[in-house]
Amino acid sequence: MTSAHATDPIVQELIEILGPDHVLTSTEDRMSYAYDASPLSGSVPRAVLFPGSSQEVSAVLKLANRERLPVIPRGGGTNVSGGSLGVQGALVLVLTRMNRILEIDERNMIAVVEPGVITGQFQAEVAKRGLYYPPDPSSLGFSTMGGNVAECAGGPRCCKYGVTRDYVLGLEVVLPTGEIIKTGARTMKCVAGYDMTRLFTGSEGTLGVITRIIVKLVPPPEACRTMLSIFPSMDAAAETVYRIMIAGTVPAALELLDNAYVRCIEDFAHVGFPKDAEAVLLIEVDGDKESLDKHVKRVADVCKAQGATEVRIAETPEQAAELWRGRRSAFGASARIAPTIIGEDVTLPRALIPAMAKRCREIATKYDVKIAVLGHAGDGNLHAAFLCDERDKAEMARVEEAMTELFTAALDLGGTCTGEHGIGALKPKFLAMEVGEAGLAAMKRIKDAMDPNGILNPGKMFPERVAP
């Protein structure tokens, strides 16, 4: 693990590019960039680099390409699929120093940011100008815009507002070979050539390093209302999700929580979730003040028609905040009942959520594992969380098998193995199952064309062997 870094000529060259303060080489520093927020563990990299400009990123990539060194781009290290895990001998390229909001253009409703800007801080700045950047991954308080774009992050609001890719208009990207390119434009439409912007968005750091981002902004909703619908069965709640949408109202957020989550959230956060409810839907409706009551009533009517035993509409912003506090504490609350939480993000066409929820229950019973289900159900995204203990090897083996069956079930039903977390190091084999051999080979050809020496984020996205 240790090496003679003081005399490592590569490190010397990196220091010349970045300056000594922006290159970390001690064992303790390097080991701290081996992991991310996924349950996997990575390898200790060779050095950790903090570039300050696109030019520095370019110089580093040229060097890495010349020396055939793996490079791992990284923001806040909040990736949950292992996309920013360290790789043996790699250079970890941390982009948090490039954290300026370069421009908020109110007249054209766009903004230009560097990749290290923290998403939540960007949203707050935009809100000060009366504008809105909706994508809201639950890590928004500490994950970066660059990481959000590279992973095409989602979140609860994506039910109505779409995911990160729906807001990215253009990018500046440093290619693995060192060229700095621009994609897209500052315009709402642009069909000049291939849609490279969308190619890099969600590319998980395998095609290029994003160094500048142009995003679209929208007007914020005038008002919003939150309600909690309580259901006597998971099936009834799951069935209600798509019925709300086809009734003509697209909620800003539509979250499904099963009894396991309802109980542990209530024990922890005391927000008034009924512990005997088999499932609840937490629904937020937003829009113009004038039309809000109509939409709230419509959603409430659908819930009642589907058998909701109770529909609680928050009377005040404080009551609404309490309900959302409960939802946000879901992860922490579950972490208190099991030391290891593995959160999955299979996503289905909305109308298949009842079927998938049923499969989750069957899989949990079959493999004797604990699965708690919560989902951004409005967009078909189901977060099945395995509550386990990493020290229990037998249990972890069962979890592994159950996870495989869960992904397979999602694919069988016509869904995807990942709605917003990415393939990373966790799901390459399911990518192959999902897109097929020819589909995977096509992706690999793009990868090879952009990154001929395979230096960018190796070991992620693609299975070890891909048929040429």
Partner 1 sequence: MTREFKRDWEGEAIRCIKCGACQVFCPVFLETQNESFLARGKVMMMRAHIKNEIGLTEGFAERMETCLLCKRCVANCPAGVRVDKLVEAARTEVADRQGLPLIKKVIFRVGLKHAGVFDTAMRLGKIGQGLLFRRVEQGMLPRIPMGLDKKRMLKSLAPRSLRASLPATTPARGPKQMRVAFFTGCAINYMYTDAGKAVVDVLSRGGAEVVLPRGQHCCGTPVRAHGDRDTAVEMAKANIDALERANADVIVTACASCGLALKEEWAELLHDDPGYGQRAKGLAAKVKDFSEVALSMPRVIDALGPVGARVTWHDPCHLVRGQKIAAQPRKLMRSVPALEFREMAQADNCCGSGGTFSLSHYDLTLKINSRKVKNIVDSGAEYVVTECPGCMMQIQDGLQQAGSPVQAMHLAELLSRSLAAREAGTTSAD
To partner 1, the closest distance from the beta carbon of 211 in angstroms equals 18
To partner 1, the closest distance from the beta carbon of 194 in angstroms equals 34
- The correct pick among 28, 290, 315, 318 for binding partner 1 (CB under 8 A) is 28
Tokens of 399: 């979890």
- The correct pick among 10, 31, 190, 443 for binding partner 1 (CB under 8 A) is 31
- The correct pick among 335, 351, 435, 466 for binding partner 1 (CB under 8 A) is 335
Edge-first strand order for the sheet with 223-231 is 310-313, 223-231, 279-287, 253-258, 370-376, 381-388, 340-343
339 lies in the site for partner 1, by CB under 8 A? yes
- State how far the Cα of 418 lies from the Cα of 438, in Å rounded to an integer: 20
130 lies in the site for partner 1, by CB under 8 A? no
Closest CA to 362 of 430, 408, 422: 408
76 lies in the site for partner 1, by CB under 8 A? yes
Task: Please report, in angstroms and rounded to a whole number, the separation of the first and last CA atoms in the chain.
Answer: 34
To partner 1, the closest distance from the beta carbon of 452 in angstroms equals 31
Taking CB under 8 A as the rule, which mask of x and - marks residues 141-180 in contact with partner 1?
xxx-------------------------------------
Tokens of 200: 């890099």
Site for partner 1 in 271-330 (CB under 8 A): 329
Q: Which is nearer to partner 1, 197 or 329 (CB)?
A: 329
408 lies in the site for partner 1, by CB under 8 A? no
332 lies in the site for partner 1, by CB under 8 A? yes
To partner 1, the closest distance from the beta carbon of 141 in angstroms equals 6
50 lies in the site for partner 1, by CB under 8 A? yes
- The correct pick among 11, 18, 23, 35 for binding partner 1 (CB under 8 A) is 35
Q: Which is nearer to partner 1, 385 or 456 (CB)?
A: 385
Closest CA to 76 of 97, 52, 102: 97
- The correct pick among 331, 349, 435, 453 for binding partner 1 (CB under 8 A) is 331
To partner 1, the closest distance from the beta carbon of 92 in angstroms equals 10
Closest CA to 162 of 381, 343, 329: 381
CB 390 within 8 A of CB 39: yes
27 lies in the site for partner 1, by CB under 8 A? yes
- The correct pick among 37, 104, 159, 236 for binding partner 1 (CB under 8 A) is 37
Site size with partner 1, rule: CB under 8 A = 33
Interface with partner 1 (CB under 8 A): 24, 26-29, 31-33, 35-38, 50, 76-78, 96-97, 118, 139, 141-143, 329, 331-332, 335-336, 339-341, 390-391
